[in-house]
Structure 1
Amino acid sequence: MAHRLLPIMLLSTAAAVSACGGAGERARPVHGTAPAEVAGVGYTSDQLAQALLTEIPGYQKAGEPDSGSYGTLKAIQNAARLQRAAQLDKPRCGTGRPGGAVPADAPAALVTFAKRGQTVTETLMGMPAADAEKQVNARIPTGCLKFRTKVGSQWSQHRVVESPKGEIGEGSRTVGVSTTTGNTATRTWYVVFRGRHYLATVTVYGPQATRTEAERLARNSLAQADRILP
């Protein structure tokens, strides 16, 4: 089983939570170490957990970091359940494309920070360079930049903007999603970037979320990982 970053992200936004878990939900650590990259090159989930951000000014940690195989992370499982429950008015936009998937057994670590009305989630995933590059190079089809989702009886409207390939780490991509559900408007910005033998995502969710903050925190994430990971 593989997990697709983009569809999970967008469908989770439909229910007004970030792809990696909402504020107030306490992640529980997963004991044990996920396998490292093929041929023994890469990082374990324990190493990735040690490289997560430990603090963000103005935010508080929303529970302890979670680590293990990507598919076992509680926030990823919750997002996948939401994806299965959501109805998409453009079904083709939720199918993903070659290179747009994260192996469920990839070593990973995740942490979420929260402040009033806003969350920041950082995820580090051990991944071969070629696979990480495919994630960074993936692009959203033009026909999927506007779509609607339905969770339960509630429809949400979404507009997506995607920046040209960036230069955070060894390559990055930045995507923004504006969501309107009834009278409530929210924004989600996420940055995907490639480091040495890992892929990272930094997601900022809330009514005041900005691209500037998401990219600044992605650079902070990169600096922290570079200090910790050998």
Structure 2
Amino acid sequence: MAHRLLPVMLLLATAAAATACGGDAERASQVRGTARAEVAGIGYTSAQLLQALLQQPPGYRRAGEPDWGEYGSLKAIQNASRLQRETVLDKPRCGTGRPGGGVAGDVPAALVSFTGGSGLTATETLMGMSAGDAEKQVNARVPPGCLRFRSKVGSTWASHRVVEAPKGDIGEGSRTVGVATTGGGSRTRTWYVVFRGRHYLATITVFGPGATRADAERLARDALAQAERVLP
């Protein structure tokens, strides 16, 4: 199963899901994430990616334990996918497109979430991926017709406005997307940065009323520095 990176990452931020790892029930997915890397020659296992996650970025504290294993098995990704299925879009094509292809559910991955001041949530995800697949994600762009859309969860509608920066230079190439959401009597912002390194793809998502592009890109650069220190 392929997971669509853009919709899932936006829903992941909205869900602000807490993550945890450990225990026999999750060991199978962790082993499969390791095996997938070895068979595909990706170079990094989910266990290695776990060690390369951000530890304690300035201004944030960790929310629960990191999760690791196959991408599609991570709790936050499963929660986001469930929310995606429950969400109605006024432009259905904006939720069914596959910018840059898709992220296979069985790639090695690790994820950690943090909370900050003023209701901010930040999430980092590292995925073992070939250079070609990672480049597709970095080069993907939001379709022009999807820069404004509405969504409904239950009986509540929300309006979204998307902005996308030109291709950036974080790591071996990056993209930055922001979404301003109004609905349910509140306004929130989501910024996410996708960048690629050697044999991996990374995403940083910052969600909350005061989320900024500068903060998301700062965390992305911190995440790159951490990954470069840890990954061989």
TM value normalised by structure 2 = 0.92
Check if 1:80 corresponds to 2:74. Answer: no
User: Distance between the aligned counterparts of 1:100 and 1:78, measured in 2?
Assistant: 21
Match of 2:37, SS state, is coil
Q: 1:126-141, aligned counterparts within 5 Å?
A: 126-141=128-143
User: Distance between the aligned counterparts of 1:63 and 1:141, measured in 2?
Assistant: 35
Structure 1 residues 192 and 37: CA distance shift in structure 2, 3 A: farther
- 8 Å CA contact 2:99–2:142 kept in 1: the answer is no
Match of 1:36, SS state, is helix
Deviation of 1:179 after TM superposition, in Å, equals: 0.3
User: Distance between the aligned counterparts of 1:135 and 1:75, measured in 2?
Assistant: 20
Name the structure with the higher helix share. 2
Deviation of 1:99 after TM superposition, in Å, equals: 2.9
Match of 1:60 in 2: 61
Deviation of 1:57 after TM superposition, in Å, equals: 1.8
Match of 2:176 in 1: 174
Match of 1:143 in 2: 145
Check if 1:28 corresponds to 2:21. Answer: yes
Match of 1:108 in 2: 109
- 8 Å CA contact 1:47–1:229 kept in 2: the answer is yes
Deviation of 1:84 after TM superposition, in Å, equals: 0.5
Match of 1:5 in 2: 5
Q: Equivalent pairs: percent with the same residue? A: 70
Q: How many residues align?
A: 223
Q: Select 1:18's aligned residue among 13, 16, 23.
A: 13
Match of 1:18, SS state, is helix
Deviation of 1:56 after TM superposition, in Å, equals: 1.4
- Summarize deviations over 1:58-77 as a string: whole Å, max 9, x none: 21110000000000000000
- 8 Å CA contact 2:42–2:129 kept in 1: the answer is no
Match of 1:187, SS state, is strand
User: Distance between the aligned counterparts of 1:134 and 1:177, measured in 2?
Assistant: 21
Deviation of 1:182 after TM superposition, in Å, equals: 2.7
Match of 1:113, SS state, is strand
Structure 2: gaps spanning 5 or more residues: none
Check if 1:189 corresponds to 2:191. Answer: yes
Counterpart of 1:28, as a letter, is C
Counterpart of 1:143, as a letter, is G
Alignment RMSD (CA, Å):
1.5
- 8 Å CA contact 2:164–2:178 kept in 1: the answer is yes
User: Distance between the aligned counterparts of 1:73 and 1:41, measured in 2?
Assistant: 19
Match of 2:98 in 1: 97
Deviation of 1:40 after TM superposition, in Å, equals: 2.2
Deviation of 1:143 after TM superposition, in Å, equals: 0.4
- Summarize deviations over 1:111-162 as a string: whole Å, max 9, x none: 0000241111000000010000000000001000000000000000000000
User: Distance between the aligned counterparts of 2:184 and 2:72, measured in 1?
Assistant: 32
TM value normalised by structure 1 = 0.93
User: Distance between the aligned counterparts of 2:179 and 2:8, measured in 1?
Assistant: 13
- 8 Å CA contact 2:99–2:137 kept in 1: the answer is no
Deviation of 1:95 after TM superposition, in Å, equals: 1.1
Q: Select 1:221's aligned residue among 213, 220, 223.
A: 223
- Summarize deviations over 1:65-124 as a string: whole Å, max 9, x none: 000000000000000000000000000111123633100000000000002411110000
Match of 2:158, SS state, is strand
